[in-house]
DNA sequence: GACGTTTTAGACAATGGTGTCTAATTTTAC
DNA sequence: GTAAAATTAGACACCATTGTCTAAAACGTC
């Protein structure tokens, strides 16, 4: 379901305790349906059916549709955040081949943060409902696209400090790195398809090659 | 596809003749509302009100909601296309300062194709309704993000042929150029704000600087 | 001014959604 | 095994929306 073969927390469920299976099931189904249909187009009946749960149960757990929606968004954001930091921690402390390491990193990032179900959900929902629920996605957009921006900037700062990169503005570089990785994937992700592993690797290669041409520290 | 040679109204209206002001007014209002609310969330009543037209008139011109929606999408795509080629034609045949020319070009592109109302509409609607109406946006995604990709690739091929750029894959370079320009604007455009002219210029500068570091032909 | 067309407001049925309620049934906890 | 809690199906009122229909009004053109 979650298309991740990485070390990952299983379905994190935000801040509520008392997490019977139903509750989680509803959250997952709701994410699916909200993502497919948008807020207005999604019906509680459809969500209940997809969760294999009666409609009343949905109302028991989440008072109303809007409430369910915010719960879903928060849940997905939590999970996406956990995933992001899990992936960031995989970057080697002392890279031996910067290009390869960055490419592998980019592949993991795009596979598990951008092209997966949660990434698609967030992109789509921020786009279509972001203006209607500004408070909901505030934290998302506050830290650039999903906090990835600032975390990446920190990573690049570390690499620059080690003399591996030559960067004047870390934030700009981070945004550009993400943008480059996305460049070859946009076609696929926009339409909704999940790119193959080969596409991911090719996109990462292209991105890293260009990024390093622009930002690699001149050979000593 | 039959382009009428009747005097073209400032808002292009695709393929129908008999373009009374009402028809255009409805198209514009519908674009607004569909963009704000998505397909499911938009109501004909709201569109009619925004167009200052009775609901019946909407139904007279466009049989049903879905029909109106496709008409709007086609209209916006036509207009966006025209705008794109108009902008492409502004790039100087023999650039005297590549960085400045590219930056100015990027500003025009982002201002008039990406950050404007039509760009926002297309991005949002492709994202949220693209899977539901794959045929509608096929041409959009066929040629990369809105045909800009292939057109840009051709431009870069020309510049490479003149010895100003050194590019191995023009399509990749085109996608990356667009991605870089977007990198600094995503935050704003995702949320729905229209960036100021300064932001546009700064984004273009950042994008072009990185792009040229990666792709500028080595000085002769 | 007359005539055909377009537009309008409003009523209308049909549909589908939300959220509530109830009473029966299942699950869980003790 | 029993009591409490959770879940279920179904009916329900309420509301918004789509799309149709009608008869009156406005419009444009000759």
Listing DSSP states for A141-195 in one string gives HHTSGGGHHHHHHHHHHHHHHTTSB--S-HHHHHHHHHHHHHHTTHHHHHHTPPP
Nucleotides of D under 7 A from a protein CB: 6-11, 16-22
pLDDT at B4: 35
Quick one: which of A151, A176, A22, A129 has its CA closest to A80? A151
Q: What parts of chain B have a pLDDT lower than 50?
A: 1-18
CA distance B82 to B13: 12
pLDDT of residue B144: 60
Query: What is the pLDDT at residue A139?
Result: 73
Looking at residue B105, its pLDDT comes to: 97
Give, in Å, how far the C1' of C5 lies from the CA of B211. 59
Question: What is the ipTM for the molecules in this complex?
Answer: 0.86
Please list the rounded mean pLDDT of every run of 10 residues in chain A (220 residues).
38 47 95 95 97 97 96 92 91 95 96 93 89 81 72 95 96 96 87 89 97 90
Q: Which CATH number fits domain A21-215: 3.20.20.140, 3.30.1330.10, 1.10.287.110, 1.10.357.10?
A: 1.10.357.10
What is the pLDDT, as a whole number, of residue A118?
93
Per cent of chain B over pLDDT 70 is 89
Q: Which of B40, B184, B214 comes nearest A41 by C-beta?
A: B40
| Minimal Cβ distance to A144: which of B39, B175, B187 | B187
**Separation in Å: D26 C1' and A35 CA:** 46
pLDDT the model gives residue A15: 38
Say which residues have a Cβ less than 8 Å from residue B33's Cβ, sequence separation at least 6. B42, B43, B46, B47, B50
Q: Tell me the Ramachandran region of residue A193: left when phi exceeds 0, alpha when psi lies from -120 to 50, beta otherwise.
A: beta
Nearest nt to the CA of A58 via C1' is: D7
CATH code given to domain B74-215 = 1.10.357.10
pLDDT at A127: 87
pLDDT in tens, A48-95: 999 999 999 999 999 999 999 999 999 999 899 899 889 999 999 999
* Closest nt to residue A54, judged CA to C1': D8
State the pLDDT at residue A131: 83
Using DSSP, state whether B52 is helix, strand or coil: coil
Closest CB from A128, A141, A175 relative to B38? A128
Say how many C-beta atoms besides its own lie within 10 A of residue A121's C-beta.
21
**CA-to-CA distance for A140 and A134, rounded, in angstroms?**
10
Instruction: State the Cα–Cα distance between residues A130 and A121, nearest whole angstrom.
Output: 12
Domain boundaries, chain B: 74-215
Q: How far apart are CA A166 and CA B90, in angstroms?
A: 34
pLDDT digits (tens, 9 = 90+) for B144-194: 666 788 889 999 999 999 999 999 999 999 999 999 999 999 878 877 788
Of B122, B155, B156, the residue nearest B139 (C-alpha): B122
pLDDT at B3 (0 to 100): 35
| Closest to B120 in 3D by CA, of B180, B207, B31 | B31
**pLDDT attached to residue B164:** 96
Q: B54: Cβ under 7 Å from strand D?
A: no
Q: How far is the CA of A54 from the C1' of D10 (A)?
A: 11
Residues on chain B touching A39 (C-beta within 8 angstroms) = 41
* Continuous H helices in B4-43: 21-41
CA A93 vs CA A101, A152, A161, A215, B82: distances in Å: 11, 14, 12, 19, 50
């Amino acid at each position: 379901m979650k298309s991740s073969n990485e070390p990952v927390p299983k379905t994190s469920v935000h801040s509520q305790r008392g997490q019977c299976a139903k509750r989680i099931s509803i959250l997952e189904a709701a994410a699916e349906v909200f993502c497919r249909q948008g807020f207005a187009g999604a019906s509680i009946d459809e969500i209940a059916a997809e969760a294999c749960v009666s409609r009343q149960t949905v109302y028991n757990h989440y008072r109303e549709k809007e409430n369910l929606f915010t719960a879903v968004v928060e849940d997905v954001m939590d999970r996406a955040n956990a995933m992001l930091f899990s992936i960031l921690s995989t970057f080697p402390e002392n890279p031996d081949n910067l290009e390869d390491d960055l490419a592998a990193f980019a592949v993991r990032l795009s596979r598990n943060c951008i092209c997966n179900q949660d990434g698609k959900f967030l992109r789509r929902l921020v786009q279509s409902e972001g203006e209607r629920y500004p408070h909901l996605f505030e934290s998302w957009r506050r830290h650039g696209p999903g906090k990835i921006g600032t975390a990446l900037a920190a990573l690049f700062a570390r690499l620059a400090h080690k003399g591996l990169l030559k960067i004047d503005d870390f934030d700009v570089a981070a945004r550009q790195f993400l943008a480059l990785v996305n460049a070859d994937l946009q076609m696929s992700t926009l339409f909704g398809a999940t790119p193959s592993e080969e596409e991911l690797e090719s996109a990462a290669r292209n991105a890293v090659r260009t990024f390093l041409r622009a930002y690699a520290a001149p050979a000593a």
